[in-house]
Amino acid sequence: MRIRIGSRGSLLALWQAHHVRDRLLALGHEVEVKIITTTGDRLQDRRLEAVGGKGAFLKEIEEALLAGEVDLAVHSLKDVPTGLPEGLGLVAVLERADPRDAWIAASGQGLDALGAGARVGTTSLRRRAQLRARRPDLEVEDLRGNVDTRLRRLKEGAFDAILLAMAGLVRLGRAAEVTQPLDAREFVPAPGQGVVALECREDDGATRAAVQPLHHEETQRAVSAERGFLAALGGGCNVPLGAHAAPFGAGLRLSAFVSDPEGRRFLRGERSGSDAGALGRAVADDLLGQGAAALLRG
């Protein structure tokens, strides 16, 4: 069948879209990729929270799906809210790449070795809060743009270090530039980090069936716990939080946190279990019991 993929135009987004395209081509489908510029791409000079949060990278692509202009959207799952527009659904997740955050320092020094007062670039509220909780002596400054832009600004001396996702660096062939991958239990990733998700219209059974061979069930279990945690806390909250599930015995271990933006009130939770959805809700309940509701209200 013929499948039209909608994607953002960044190098990383296109890598993901072309990876999905190539796998579908190998299954005998006709596939084309249509580039769609999103609000998040257009408004690079503003913080994400001011333009709709991570959902700003989805809005126009989902509108194209609903209008029948494309058949399939390829997303970084960490950008996808738990609540989707009526008529759309996530139909597959690909096998997860490295979920960790990457510390890249111009000096080659690790996170704990970098000198006090050093400038660290990140736009992520989650990364900012964890940095400030662990290293309150660092200066954390905004850094938006694609992977190339951020790495270039580091090399130009605008920052002493930056934080990026390991998965994106690996996919773009730039993992050798990483100074230190950060342990996912200590520096908790975003829910769904490292996962490519596929979205289509709920009534499009043909596209749903076409992408099923790409679906990875073990990844689905892990992200069900992470997104279950996110949903239990209110889904699209623009507050610093992270959640990461990994295999543990016959089940999963979920590590998570919620914080204020400055990392001064930093709440952690961790549990293991075999029911992914219940595990996510249980860790959310633990954090709510520690007072997370006040942080979520801002």
Q: Can you tell me the distance from the alpha carbon of 36 to that of 284, in angstroms, rounded to the nearest whole number?
A: 35
Q: Per DSSP, what are the bridge partners of residue 120?
A: 140, 161
Q: Per DSSP, what are the bridge partners of residue 253?
A: 246, 272
Q: Per DSSP, what are the bridge partners of residue 259?
A: 266
Q: Can you tell me the distance from the alpha carbon of 230 to that of 191, in angstroms, rounded to the nearest whole number?
A: 7
236-241: long-range pairs with CB below 8 Å, 24+? 236/53, 236/55, 236/81, 236/82, 236/83, 237/296, 238/49, 238/53, 238/125, 239/125, 239/295, 239/296, 239/298, 240/125, 240/126, 240/128, 240/129, 240/130, 241/126
Q: Which of 22, 71, 79, 148 is catalytic?
A: 79
Picking from 91, 75, 74, the residue whose alpha carbon sits closest to that of residue 4 is 74
Concerning whether 183 is annotated as a catalytic residue, the answer is: no
Neighbours of 72 (CB within 10 A): 28
Picking from 266, 270, 275, 259, the residue whose alpha carbon sits closest to that of residue 221 is 275
Distances (CA, A) of 63 to 54, 88, 285: 16, 10, 34
Contact assessment for residue 120 and residue 229, using Cβ atoms and an 8 Å cutoff:
no
With a CB cutoff of 8 Å and minimum separation 6, the contacts of 16 are 7, 74, 76, 171, 196
State the catalytic residues.
79
